[in-house]
Structure 1
Amino acid sequence: MNQASQTPKRSTPTWQILVTTLGTMAWRNLWRNRKRTVITLSSIAVGFALAVLFIGIGDGSHNSMIRNAIQLGEGHITVQPKNYLAAPSNHSFLHNGKQLVAAIKALDLPGKVMPRISIQTLASTANNSVGAGLLGIETESSLHHPLDPMAEKLKPTLISGAWLTPDDERGVIIGSGMARKLKAKIGSKIVLMAGKKGGDSQAYLAKVRGIFHAPMDEMNDFFIVSHLSFARQFLIGEGGDAFREPLTRIAIFLQDPHTQDDWKQKLKSLLKNDNSLVVLDWQEMMPQLIQFIALDNAGNYVFLVFILIMVVFGILNTVLMSVLERTREFGLLRALGMNRQHLLLLVLFESLFLSLLAMIAGWLLGGLTHLWFSHHGIDFSSFMEGGTSLMGTMMDPIIYTELSWDRVKQLTEIVFITTMVTGIYPAVKAAKVTPVEALRT
């Protein structure tokens, strides 16, 4: 007689039944008082959205300052003489600039490799004399030499005259503050004089072709822009070889800023045999900007602490009131056989669900807020009557909120962990309930 084989049914593990049961009970308990739960979630969502907005504005303003500092400064990476940053001087320069630029370009670096010359001079006209910084850059784009990013920034700020033409060997562009101090106008002659290492001096005649008004007062009051060939005359006077095209530094602008560290290491490997050179990133070139951003971030985190305090009291109020209202119920559960650990897990499950809902509501409102201001921005021009320059750079008048994935992860973890930790005290209080005392209430 054949007997049909029967496959024994696999029983559900005890822990799975326990988790399902406690989870279901916690979810239902959370919505017993819908109004209180909704108010708590709404307050957390509003607080979370404010935190997202303020941190987004902070990151947006910082990134704006960094981008402008890189474009108006020395790029993402700078190659320059070893001690030039600590003690800038006209006789400290890259003697073989032509070969260095060619070697760096041979790496097929994705970006711009810009030769630059910075000279400290005394600018004089018939009316006045002031200290000035002469900056020689690539003022026009060509097949072999792209336009310098600083020229891209300064061209739109011209308020009179015209930009330098390729064949204008003595033409210079000066800032509005410099023009006011020297009482110079378009066509004015300026004598630029610089001291030499041996104690002598050298001077060259320049003519004003244009006047710019940049958002940074330091540039308006101090900068004089010229072709590389004009500024190079001062380096040749210091003993440089014109054929080797000496430079003060090489500024490197990357298409992808995230590759900065990799390219910095490659450049260090390329130049490791030359102890007279140093490869610096923008953070090393502008430490004061890094310090300012760190301090400003600290201020943003102080605001976040206030948001977390509001979250803590909201969660604590909801869960603790729920626990106190159900003291008799907890006593009955204990009398029916539920142990302290299970009661503790029940209340922790309620805190877990409340935390998850708070995250969903917070990111829904905060995400929409960030999405709006990341496209439309916030105009801070009315709050910047004193100018947009700050810490050697400038901040755009319209700030768009920016949030990296690290920020998103950080905000989520902080608020989630805070809400979960807040639920521990009510859970412990519920677990301490004794059946006899609870049933007397």
Structure 2
Amino acid sequence: MMYNFLLLWKMAWRNLWRQRRRSLITVFAMSAGLALCIPTYGLMEGVSREMIRGITRSHLGHVQVHHPDYLEERRLELSFPEKEASLAVLADPAVIQAAPRVYTGGMVSSEHEFEVHVGTIGTHGGGLQSLVSGSLPLKKCTALVDERTAKRWRLDLGSILRFSPLPAEPACERVEISGVVRSDPAGASSLLMRPADIADLNAPPKAKSAAQTDPDDIDSLEKLAPAAPSADATPMLAPASDAAPDAAPAVDAAPAAPPPAAPSPSPATPADNPTTVVFRVVRTASSQVGIIAVDPSRESQVTTMVDKVVAGTYLNNTYRNGQGVPQILIGDQLARILMVKPGDRLGLDILTREGFPMDEMVEVAGMFNSGLDSMDRSLTFVHLRMAWDPELMNLVDPKTGAPQIHELAIRIKDSLDNVVVAERLQKRLKGLHLVAWPWQKVEPAMASMVKLQDASTAILLLIIFAIAALGTMNTMLMSVFERIREFGVLKSVGMRPFFVARLIMLETLLMTLVSMVVGGVLGLGISSYLYVYGLDMSSLLPEGFSYQGVVIDPVWRTVISVRSFAIPLALMSLVSLIVAVWPAVRAARIKPVEALRQTGV
């Protein structure tokens, strides 16, 4: 039996090289397919691992602990004691760190004060011919603004400006932007209103009440201005032309009102309206945001948010800074909306456990860029102690006063073991009536995306091997048709059909083994290069690509592992042997008499 087996191997090897050119072409095709599949599989596995790392290290963590109903309802009162849960989780040897979090919502706002030259329609060419967008200010307390001012202070149609200090009634305390006109070449910020509205603005300013000077009121927020406000709160008259100084009106005099007739569509000359009034106005910018209260030191050990800070610094470990003001970390796009920078102060309205808003002045510690526009526009981070502050969220146990949280984000040593670790933590937390979820349960869409990536990789490998296998099948069929007489002679001298089929299968197996050696060496070389230098996709994806907050680096690198070699090799062997079945069956079914007759013997 052993002799027959060795004889078949010898015959198969000899037959393989009888048509040397055809066999070499087939070996080359199979080797090329394998050399392509090995780095492709390693590359896709590297992308999958990068996706998982991005998912878990950007915000989720490998495992999360919640109140049993929190993921479905997300109510503020679905909290749990932080200390007991943290002690139970950190007792597991697989856990590196657990970051406590509190989730709520609110609004952030900023105020900016600047000077504008208020004039009537026609001043600076503010007629229909210079109107860029919107409409003329035909209603009370509406105004046109020049393009430069609108762009600098992000003023859109419908934006509100408030005069500072507040004028006396019946003057407009605030004006709504109805349109935008071309900027004055002289460079002054222009606000164009109805003549009647301007006349009302010259009355003595209205004093601010005690309620309006409440230090906790957001209206008392420090104004962010390019220059310090004027000490004289009274509106000033400034010449709009090159007239002599002695022709200018007195400071406390009201500007001459233009004729009551409707403004002309064409621009007026300076002689038609010789003066404008200089006022200070306040621009308020606000945005609704999600607020996450974190422990900065523990959060930085679980997620990489600290590495995404692009301006300023991450949150300090202390709750309040040296001036006693809490800090806030905001996205760079939100900073552009609010027109703030690190060190500026914001008004923060934060929802309490009971759902009531409480306001606080906060200082911008820094700005982050997560790579996801929605996150950079609408997410903020504050210190965890703000959630426990009795004057703000006051998220503590009503009976014991113990601090409460909504989530524990956990980082473990091996990310691939997160399901097992979650099951083990679930047993530890059973007495606290909490649940431990692997990230796949918290974000099933992300898990499906990773599975889809793996499935796509498998399909790609099968397509590549199928193309190479078709060449193998063609080679073996051609070999069978050319050797019909040979198989007829072998069967006539007593070789059974089973051994004929085995001979064809052995020839295919030998060709596959040669291809595996050659393709494996080439694949290892390509994988090593991609492991060191990576595949640069920056020309197609300059900033990488993101999905639901997961950002993939534009430079893709392979993963060199036993799996990245074993799976392509196993697939190639399996596919090659499958396609060799049909040629082997054809050879086994050859009848000696018909074979000799076809060859003329």
SS of the counterpart of 2:70? Answer: coil
Superposition deviation, residue 70 in structure 1: 0.6
Report if the CA contact (8 A) 1:91-1:235 is conserved. no
Query: 1:319-398 to 2 correspondence within 5 Å?
Result: 319-385=476-542, 388-398=545-555
SS of the counterpart of 2:350? Answer: strand
Higher share of residues assigned strand: 2
Of 111, 114, 121, the residue aligned with 2:99 is: 114
SS of the counterpart of 1:315? Answer: helix
SS of the counterpart of 2:66? Answer: strand
Superposition deviation, residue 284 in structure 1: 0.8
User: 1:228-258: CA deviations, max 9, x gaps?
Assistant: 2124335415766795222121111012224
Query: 1:88-107 to 2 correspondence within 5 Å?
Result: 88-94=74-80, 96-107=81-92
Residue identity matched to 1:102 = L
Q: Distance in 1 between matches of 2:351 and 2:52?
A: 33
The reply on whether 1:149 has 2:305 as its aligned counterpart is no
> Structure 1 stretch 177-186 or stretch 298-307: which is displaced more?
298-307
Report if the CA contact (8 A) 2:422-2:438 is conserved. yes
User: 1:38-68: CA deviations, max 9, x gaps?
Assistant: 1111111111222223322222112111101
2:312 maps to: 161
Q: Distance in 1 between matches of 2:395 and 2:500?
A: 86
Query: 1:208-247 to 2 correspondence within 5 Å?
Result: 208-233=364-389, 234-236=392-394, 244-247=402-405
* Residues matched between the structures, number: 419
**TM-score, L = length of structure 1:** 0.88
SS of the counterpart of 1:121? Answer: strand
SS of the counterpart of 2:73? Answer: coil
1:135 maps to: 292
Q: Distance in 2 between matches of 1:406 and 1:61?
A: 15
Of 593, 598, 601, the residue aligned with 1:436 is: 593
Superposition deviation, residue 174 in structure 1: 1.1
2:108 maps to: 123
Q: Distance in 1 between matches of 2:9 and 2:431?
A: 66
Report if the CA contact (8 A) 2:469-2:576 is conserved. yes
Q: Distance in 1 between matches of 2:27 and 2:288?
A: 61
1:50 maps to: 36
After TM superposition, the runs of 4+ consecutive aligned structure 1 residues lying more than 4 A away are 196-199, 237-243
Structure 1 unaligned residues grouped into runs of 5+: 1-14
User: 1:386-414: CA deviations, max 9, x gaps?
Assistant: 65321331112221112554454332222
- Change in 2 beyond 3 A, CA 1:91/1:146: closer
Identity of aligned residues (%): 27
User: 1:105-153: CA deviations, max 9, x gaps?
Assistant: 233444112222222222222322222122222323xxxx584333xx3
1:11 maps to: none
**TM-score, L = length of structure 2:** 0.65
Of 18, 39, 63, the residue aligned with 2:4 is: 18
2:411 maps to: 253
> Structure 1 stretch 62-71 or stretch 46-55: which is displaced more?
46-55
Q: Distance in 2 between matches of 1:195 and 1:327?
A: 86
Residue identity matched to 2:301 = D
Q: Distance in 1 between matches of 2:314 and 2:299?
A: 16
Superposition deviation, residue 156 in structure 1: 3.7
Report if the CA contact (8 A) 1:158-1:212 is conserved. yes
Residue identity matched to 1:324 = F
Q: What's the C-alpha RMSD, in Å, of the aligned pairs?
A: 2.4
Report if the CA contact (8 A) 1:344-1:428 is conserved. yes
Structure 2 unaligned residues grouped into runs of 5+: 112-283, 321-325
Of 414, 417, 424, the residue aligned with 2:581 is: 424
- Change in 2 beyond 3 A, CA 1:120/1:390: same
Superposition deviation, residue 350 in structure 1: 0.9
SS of the counterpart of 1:206? Answer: strand
Report if the CA contact (8 A) 1:216-1:388 is conserved. no
Superposition deviation, residue 198 in structure 1: 4.4
Q: Distance in 1 between matches of 2:437 and 2:558?
A: 29
Report if the CA contact (8 A) 2:372-2:548 is conserved. no
1:206 maps to: 362
Superposition deviation, residue 282 in structure 1: 0.9
Q: Distance in 1 between matches of 2:381 and 2:595?
A: 83
1:5 maps to: none
1:270 maps to: 428
